[in-house]
Structure 1
Amino acid sequence: MLKAAANKKSKEDADFASLKNIIKTRLGFNCEYYKDSHFRRRIDVRLRATGSENFGEYIQVLKQDQNEQDILLETLTVNVTNFFRNSEVYDIIEKEVLPAVIKSKGIGMNKSIKIWSAGCSIGVEAYSIAMLFHHILGNRIGRYNISITGTDIDKASLQHARNGIYSEVEMKDVRPDFMQRYFVKEGNQYHIKDELKKMTRFKPHDMISGPKMGGFDIIFCRNVTIYFEKELQEKLYMKFYEGLNKDGFFVMGKTETLLGPSKDLFRSYNAKERIYAK
Structure 2
Amino acid sequence: MTDAECLELLRWAAPRLGLRYEGFRRVRGQVCKRVGRRMKELGVPGLAAYLERLEADPAERALLDALCRVTISRFYRDHGVFEALREPLLPRVLEAARARGERVLRVWSAGCASGEEPYTVAVLFRLGLWPRFPDFGLEVVATDADGALLERARRGCYQRATLRELPSEWVDTAFTPQGGELCLRPEFREGLDFRREDLRQRMPEGLFHLVLCRNVAFTYFAPPVQHEVLARLLERLAPGGLLAIGAHESLPEDSMGLTRAAGALPLFHRADTGI
Matched residue, 1:245: 238
In the TM superposition, what is the alpha-carbon distance from 1:256 to its structure 2 partner?
Answer: 1.3
Please provide the CA RMSD for this pair: 3.4
Matched residue, 1:231: 224
* Long gaps (5+) in structure 1: 1-8, 22-29, 63-67
Q: Is the 8 A contact 1:81 1:124 kept in 2?
A: yes
Q: Which has the higher helix share?
A: 1
CA deviations over 1:35-70 (Å, ceiling 9, x no partner)? 2453965542135446666324557999xxxxx999
- Aligned: 1:33 with 2:18: yes
The residue type equivalent to 1:117 in the other structure is S
Question: 1-side partners of 2:120 and 2:235: how far apart?
Answer: 25
Local SS of the residue matching 2:247? coil
Q: Is the 8 A contact 2:247 2:266 kept in 1?
A: yes
Local SS of the residue matching 1:150? strand
Counterpart of 1:44 (choices 29, 32, 41) is: 32
Count of equivalent residues: 251
Counterpart of 1:170 (choices 136, 153, 162) is: 162
TM-score normalised by the chain length of structure 2: 0.78
Q: CA 1:55–1:110 in structure 2 vs 1: closer, same or farther (change >3 Å)?
A: same
In the TM superposition, what is the alpha-carbon distance from 1:145 to its structure 2 partner?
Answer: 2.6
Question: 1-side partners of 2:149 and 2:100: how far apart?
Answer: 37
In the TM superposition, what is the alpha-carbon distance from 1:214 to its structure 2 partner?
Answer: 3.2
The residue type equivalent to 1:166 in the other structure is Y
The residue type equivalent to 1:209 in the other structure is Q
CA deviations over 1:68-124 (Å, ceiling 9, x no partner)? 999977643241110001111111111112211221122799702110000111111
Question: 1-side partners of 2:261 and 2:137: how far apart?
Answer: 25
CA deviations over 1:173-213 (Å, ceiling 9, x no partner)? 12221111000012320101111111211101111111463
Identity over aligned residues, as a percent?
Answer: 23
CA deviations over 1:105-149 (Å, ceiling 9, x no partner)? 227997021100001111111111111111134456652231011
- Higher Rg: 1
Matched residue, 1:117: 109
Q: Is the 8 A contact 1:226 1:256 kept in 2?
A: yes
Q: Is the 8 A contact 2:176 2:185 kept in 1?
A: yes
Matched residue, 2:180: 188
Question: 1-side partners of 2:128 and 2:164: how far apart?
Answer: 22
The residue type equivalent to 1:167 in the other structure is Q
* Long gaps (5+) in structure 2: 55-59, 271-275
- Aligned: 1:205 with 2:203: no
Question: 1-side partners of 2:63 and 2:181: how far apart?
Answer: 24
TM-score normalised by the chain length of structure 1: 0.77
Residues 85-104 of structure 1: matches in 2 within 5 Å? 85-104=77-96
The residue type equivalent to 2:33 in the other structure is V
